[in-house]
Structure 1
Amino acid sequence: MTTTELRTAVPYREVRDAGGRVYRVGETDIDIMGRKRKWMVILPWVGMMGISSAEYAFASAEDTLHTAHSWSSLHIFWMLGVWVFFQAAVAFPTGRLRESGRLPARWAMMFGAFGTLLGYLSLAFAPHVVVAYIGFGMFSGTGAGMVYATCVNMVGKWYPERKGGKTGFVNGGFAYGSVPFVFLFTGYMDLTNFRWVLVGAGLLLAATVAAAGCFFQDPPKNWWPAAVDPLRPPSDPRARRALRMNPPAVRQYTPKEAWQTGRVALMWFCLLCTSGVNIFGIAFQVDIGEEAGFAGGVVATAMSLKAVVNGTGRGVIGWLSDRYGRKRCLIFVCVVLGLAQYGILWAADIGNLPMFLIFSSISGFGGGAIFPMFAAMTADYFGENNNASNYGLVYSSKLVSGLLGSGMGSVVVSHWGHTGAFTLAGSISLFAGFIALFLSQPGRPRAKNITPNPQPLGEEMA
């Protein structure tokens, strides 16, 4: 990666479209930061990989942590719920601080790296479970939330004309990075080495996050790529189709204005349902697999497949949403995620390992694909300038879904068994798909509400 030192300011101009939205044009990515904007896809992707193992591989370490520290399984599942709670809780305040300029992207990544390291150290050396709740649940979750909010919103700012595929790719890092740690925690870590395995993992992942964050930089407010005219259809067929299927926001909404449209509440509820189902699957897929009699190594393979497809699904659905529209793809993902829960339950009931692996992978696809859809849709609906804060509002639903999916999920399993719990999870996801039918871009009239001019151009002159 090369950096070019700029000696003079590059002229730019601001233009307005028919709806009054302002675009800052004339500056290229190299003019602004001295390197191609593709690095603002690659580096956030690396940063996301550095925080993923805490959520996606944590359940794989349950047995070792339970034996080593004498923590109950209920404590461990609630600990994951607390981690998810704080990861979501900081999304909105991080966005506000970032957009006000008081928290540069690089500093947010450094804080995230420190929290990641502190979380693994607490799992290794906590003298009491309360210390683990604080170190892993609170500090690691907070650090991960700062990294997540920074990385996801960074790519949308640099690719305002074609954000779906890029956002999905970056979001995929949140799952890919956990794959080696699933095998590490299930196949290598034991009572003799668990402390050093956790410390080594924490040091490696913290260094990864910090190194990626060193090169982060935001574009100016209202920035638009110099090669894409915001007032005319772009020449690039990919960008042209993406803008046609997902037109940019009619203006830049503040968080208060975005909330008043009513769309944020709908998106919040949809994400609450789907992310809760996703976290439930992460937490209890190992349990239902072991209950079905599948070997521990096979269950680890299923979790790894789930993580790989989870990450791949985020990139694929982002690309598809550029071609077919975010709303259509979101509804499709909700249905897939819901049906996959029924499939996992059916495969476990009959003891069919191949089908269990297939439905686990499908569940991973659905559970991962929901996040880039909401991230890109938030920018499409409310603009890029306040996207970190606006997406923070939507993403805050994970405050509740993490506790419901992991902590309350364990309560449901204990009372209704896996049959009742997985059936309920599938039904919740299907209901979220129904709610998504009511989403629409604020400020833009629907085609069916547009009436033709009773006097077409020219008739009044006849």
Structure 2
Amino acid sequence: MNRLFNRLPPLQLVTDSFAQSSEEDDMSKEGGWSWVILAASFIISMCTRAMTRTLSIFLVEFTDHFDQDLASVSWVISINDCLTMACAPLGTFLVSRFSYKATVMFGGILCTSGYVLGSFCTSIVQLYICLGVLSGLGSAFCFPTCVALVGCYFPHRRSFATGLATLGIGVGTFVLGSLAQFLIEAFGWRGALLILGGLVTHTLLCAFLFRPPPAVAAKRKDRNLLEPNDRLKEQVLQYNSCKPLPQQVDLESPLFNLEFVVFAFALFFLIYGSTPAIAYMFVYAYDSGVSKRQAAFLVSIYGIMTIIGNVFYSWIMDKSRFLRLYQMHTFMPVMVMYGISILLIPAASTYPLLMVCAVLLGHCEGILQPGPPVLASKLVGPTLAPTAIGIVYFSYSLPYLISLPISAWITNATSGYTAAFLLNGFFVLFGGVIFQFSLLYASCCKGRSYGPKVYECLLAKYCKNEA
């Protein structure tokens, strides 16, 4: 062991030099066509996920036209959201079999077909198939694929680039919220869906701009030229949490990581609690006596605050070294604020109070949008990061499927929205608390503190003392 530690200082110098030169080379490649990919992904986020948020404005129209209750028409959004996340691995398979461009183009065709055919539906079941199944599958092939591609083009500014790509959700919600209500008043809900379907065709144009991600073969070749001990030190430098390296090498699945499993459960409660609050905001405001235009403007306020929260979080995480080191511990405070915002909705008896709730909900949603993929990568390390991100997106599917119908059923059973919103708010609070307790347990009982790179710091301190 003494012989090994005596060799650490020269290894530190070699590894740092290699890592610095490699990072500078990669940073120089984060330009040019990378920004075109980012802009295209931004537009695709608007045409997929933001469009799904806009469907909440159609719930009142569907309820009146098909003479169905809120729980029945809510399945349209639930099926769409569920398939978007559950079929994300299928989109990954198509990318590996064909290409990013072909996969996104196929998804864009499905999305467009869903909205166009949805404008001709004569039953609620047909809406399930068109707006739920077809559009949901199309979003699954478009949205997660774009997020993955942006990460390939921006390896060292992944948080900021992912935040900008998903910013299209907030911008789209802000723009399409009021636009959808205007189109409904001017052309009816069928004409509005047909026009929105035309907007979704922009995903096909964006897909033409996609190119294969930057080649990593040269980088892998350079890494293979290193000595085994150098590669070991490089893995330590790349690893973002504080677990000892040998413990990570033995893991073959993120499901063996307790903190990651708890994180997936926390996301389950987050999605379950937040989805009805967002989707039923328009319906709740309308039933409270607010006009449809004012209720639609609440959706726009939520969208613009999502933009602000998304940009603020992505920017500060890339600029602040302290927050980046302790990024894992910022998850619970935001979830607590999110849960409190949902709990306040039933107490919002006036339109200004509803606007305050929309501001708080949008800000928290914007902060949490780019966070889960990044936090999942930090929990399991770079090697298992792709698998962990796939599990995270898949964990969204079940709460997306059941949250809206269950909340609608509670609303009908209690003849009001109070019980449903209170239950959803407590679910979000519970998710944040259990994840923070898992981090405290890992720190106290397992010696893993998700802050600075403790293993690397201990090695550096030992080398300094030896010198």
C-alpha deviation, 1:302, in angstroms: 0.8
Is the CA contact (8 Å cut-off) linking 1:51 and 1:177 kept in structure 2? no
Is the CA contact (8 Å cut-off) linking 2:59 and 2:283 kept in structure 1? no
Which structure shows the higher helix fraction? 2
Is the CA contact (8 Å cut-off) linking 1:179 and 1:307 kept in structure 2? yes
- C-alpha distance in structure 2 between counterparts of 1:44 and 1:124, whole Å: 26
Is the CA contact (8 Å cut-off) linking 1:156 and 1:379 kept in structure 2? no
Is the CA contact (8 Å cut-off) linking 1:277 and 1:428 kept in structure 2? yes
Q: Deviations over 1:166-217 (max 9, x none)?
A: 21221121232133332233233149543333122112212x1111222223
- C-alpha distance in structure 1 between counterparts of 2:249 and 2:277, whole Å: 35
The corresponding residue for 1:273 is 269
Aligned counterpart for 1:412 among listed residues 385, 410, 413: 410
C-alpha deviation, 1:58, in angstroms: 0.5
The corresponding residue for 1:121 is 116
Q: Deviations over 1:133-184 (max 9, x none)?
A: 1121111011112211112222222222222222122112123213333223
Is the CA contact (8 Å cut-off) linking 1:120 and 1:198 kept in structure 2? yes
Matches within 5 A, 1:102-141: 102-141=97-136
Which amino acid in 2 is paired with 1:51?
Answer: T
- C-alpha distance in structure 2 between counterparts of 1:110 and 1:176, whole Å: 22
C-alpha deviation, 1:281, in angstroms: 1.1
C-alpha deviation, 1:271, in angstroms: 1.3
| Contiguous gaps of at least 5 residues in structure 1 | 1-14, 225-230, 232-242
SS at match of 2:156: coil
Is the CA contact (8 Å cut-off) linking 1:277 and 1:426 kept in structure 2? yes
Point out the more displaced range, 266-275 or 211-220: 211-220
Which amino acid in 1 is paired with 2:116?
Answer: L
The corresponding residue for 2:295 is 299
Aligned counterpart for 1:214 among listed residues 208, 212, 225: 208
Aligned counterpart for 2:42 among listed residues 20, 45, 48: 45
Matched, 1:93 2:52: no
TM-score, reference length from structure 2: 0.78
Q: Deviations over 1:212-243 (max 9, x none)?
A: 2222232234888xxxxxx9xxxxxxxxxxx9
- C-alpha distance in structure 1 between counterparts of 2:82 and 2:121, whole Å: 20
The corresponding residue for 2:375 is 377
SS at match of 1:359: helix
- C-alpha distance in structure 2 between counterparts of 1:383 and 1:219, whole Å: 21
The corresponding residue for 1:426 is 425
- C-alpha distance in structure 2 between counterparts of 1:311 and 1:139, whole Å: 28
Is the CA contact (8 Å cut-off) linking 1:321 and 1:329 kept in structure 2? no
Identity %: 19
C-alpha deviation, 1:345, in angstroms: 1.9
Matched, 1:74 2:74: no
Aligned counterpart for 1:286 among listed residues 274, 282, 287: 282
- C-alpha distance in structure 1 between counterparts of 2:379 and 2:366, whole Å: 21
- C-alpha distance in structure 2 between counterparts of 1:253 and 1:129, whole Å: 51
C-alpha deviation, 1:71, in angstroms: 4.5
C-alpha deviation, 1:290, in angstroms: 2.4
- C-alpha distance in structure 1 between counterparts of 2:409 and 2:173, whole Å: 26
C-alpha deviation, 1:84, in angstroms: 0.9
Aligned counterpart for 2:189 among listed residues 194, 198, 201: 194
Aligned counterpart for 1:394 among listed residues 379, 392, 395: 392
Q: Deviations over 1:265-308 (max 9, x none)?
A: 22221111112222111221123212332222211111111122
- C-alpha distance in structure 2 between counterparts of 1:429 and 1:445, whole Å: 25
- C-alpha distance in structure 1 between counterparts of 2:98 and 2:249, whole Å: 21
Is the CA contact (8 Å cut-off) linking 2:94 and 2:103 kept in structure 1? no
Which amino acid in 1 is paired with 2:417?
Answer: H
| Contiguous gaps of at least 5 residues in structure 2 | 1-12, 220-225, 227-236
- C-alpha distance in structure 2 between counterparts of 1:89 and 1:96, whole Å: 13
Is the CA contact (8 Å cut-off) linking 2:411 and 2:420 kept in structure 1? yes
- C-alpha distance in structure 2 between counterparts of 1:162 and 1:29, whole Å: 8
- C-alpha distance in structure 1 between counterparts of 2:190 and 2:53, whole Å: 19
Aligned counterpart for 1:153 among listed residues 127, 148, 154: 148
C-alpha deviation, 1:73, in angstroms: 2.9
The corresponding residue for 2:317 is 321
Aligned length: 421
- C-alpha distance in structure 1 between counterparts of 2:93 and 2:130, whole Å: 25
Q: Deviations over 1:6-49 (max 9, x none)?
A: xxxxxxxxx9959x9999778668879x9342233222111111
- C-alpha distance in structure 2 between counterparts of 1:197 and 1:414, whole Å: 28
Which amino acid in 1 is paired with 2:73?
Answer: I
C-alpha deviation, 1:120, in angstroms: 0.7
C-alpha deviation, 1:51, in angstroms: 0.9
- C-alpha distance in structure 2 between counterparts of 1:137 and 1:185, whole Å: 18
Is the CA contact (8 Å cut-off) linking 2:49 and 2:143 kept in structure 1? no
C-alpha deviation, 1:102, in angstroms: 1.1
Gap change, CA 1:410 and 1:295, over 3 Å in 2: same
The corresponding residue for 2:355 is 357
Is the CA contact (8 Å cut-off) linking 2:88 and 2:390 kept in structure 1? yes
SS at match of 2:97: coil
Point out the more displaced range, 394-403 or 283-292: 283-292
C-alpha deviation, 1:371, in angstroms: 2.7
Matches within 5 A, 1:171-190: 171-190=166-185
Is the CA contact (8 Å cut-off) linking 1:334 and 1:366 kept in structure 2? yes
Point out the more displaced range, 124-133 or 251-260: 251-260
The corresponding residue for 1:343 is 344
C-alpha deviation, 1:331, in angstroms: 1.8
Which amino acid in 2 is paired with 1:58?
Answer: L
Matched, 1:166 2:167: no
